[in-house]
Amino acid sequence: MKQGDFVWHELCTTDPVAAAAFYGKVVGWTIRPSGLPGIDYSLACLGDRQIAGIMTLPAAQMPPRPIWFGYIAVDDVDAKAKEIETAGGSIHKAPEDIPSIGRFAVVSDPQGAVFMLFKGAGEPPPPLGMMQTGSVGWNELHARDAPAIWPFYEETFGWSKDTAHDMGPMGVYQLFKGSGLPCGGMMTDTQSSPHPYWLYYFVVDDIDAGLERVKSNGGTVLFGPQEVPGGAWIINAQDPQGGNFALVGMRKG
């Protein structure tokens, strides 16, 4: 686990049972109870590999809005949270231990996009292949002003810029690297959401089949299919409870 890597993803939702059934069918995950004491927390798995967590949206979060969180590895959660606050970000949940798992905090960047900081108690398994079906294949920031927020992430996590794609009237899509490999992108988005947010892409083996699974299981397709550089296709979607997510995969038809 290296500082700046995305190491976990988690859905907080109003109906975790229904959401687990939806993502199990759409992405192909097997859902299992975590066994963590005192918390109803489910694990989305590929075989024995844990991919993501699903839990009930905290009652304190009003209005209730399902959201996917990305956990970013850091060397020291407490120090990094203070650093983010000093840089103009916010701490939404102070650093706290998860017994036998690690330490985390909920923070946001200076423009308001929320994410998690995490320091694990042990070494995680090696990363999955970038386009392995069922994995989280991409992490995308929809910023209020992407060029303005880039220095924050560069300084906070040591990310470096990769290829930049000119999207015309939509501006520039900037890819970035974590541990030397592209792991996400960011763009300026002032239209689709009232606030900046992170969007996470789940890999499917056939984007058209994935789209149909979204619709047939009560989800809504918001955008796509759209081809992206490299030959893959994407859709942006919303689950039945209102959580935003995306799918990425090849087109077989």
Give how many domains the chain has, as a whole number.
2
Structural domain contains residue 84:
yes
Domain CATH code at residue 161: 3.10.180.10
Helix residue ranges per DSSP H, 112-225: 146-157, 207-216
**Maximum CA extent, the chain:** 50
Same domain, 74 and 171: no
pLDDT tens digit sequence for 141-157 = 999 999 999 999 999 99
Structural domain contains residue 127:
no
pLDDT tens digit sequence for 174-196 = 999 987 778 899 999 867 667 89
Which of 88, 120, 152 is the C-terminal boundary of a domain?
A: 120
Residue-averaged pLDDT of the chain: 92
Same domain, 19 and 83: yes
Helix residue ranges per DSSP H, 76-180: 77-86, 146-157
Structural domain contains residue 16:
yes
Are the C-beta atoms of 239 and 23 separated by less than 8 Å?
Answer: yes
- Residue 148: domain span: 136-249
Same domain, 110 and 170: no
Structural domain contains residue 203:
yes
Which of 96, 120, 144 is the C-terminal boundary of a domain?
A: 120
pLDDT tens digit sequence for 45-102 = 999 999 999 999 877 664 578 999 999 999 999 999 999 999 999 999 999 999 889 9
Instruction: Return the closest-CA partner of residue 233 out of 138, 135, 168, 129.
Output: 138
Residue 37 is predicted with a pLDDT of 79
